Amino acid sequence: RVLPPPVLCGAGGFGCVAMGRLRGAPVAIKAPRTGVARNSAKLIASLCNEIRLLRRVRHTHIVAFHGAAIDPESGELALIFEFV
């Protein structure tokens, strides 16, 4: 199936955030900058730490973490959050 192009919401030091859909609901997809080494130990450690913390955090002032996804073609990891 063909997906619509992502709507870029912002970018920062880590990478970019785009709007997407998960089971029909809008979500924010946080992905590393292109050109960042996928196998960078520092990047992998940073992502693992963020996932470890976010999967346990529940607070009204922090967006909900839905999970992570790996692009099967590029091997890149993306974090998926509620869209606010």
pLDDT digits (tens, 9 = 90+) for 12-44: 877 889 999 888 889 999 887 765 555 577 777
Query: What is the pLDDT at residue 38?
Result: 56
Q: 17 near 84, Cβ under 8 Å? A: no
Task: Give, as one character, the DSSP assignment of residue 71.
Answer: -
Going by their DSSP bridges, the two strands 7-11 and 15-22 should be labelled as antiparallel
Token digits of residue 33: 């900058």
pLDDT digits (tens, 9 = 90+) for 42-54: 777 888 888 899 8
Residues contacting 37, CB < 8 A, separation 6+: 43
The helix/strand/coil state of 47 is helix
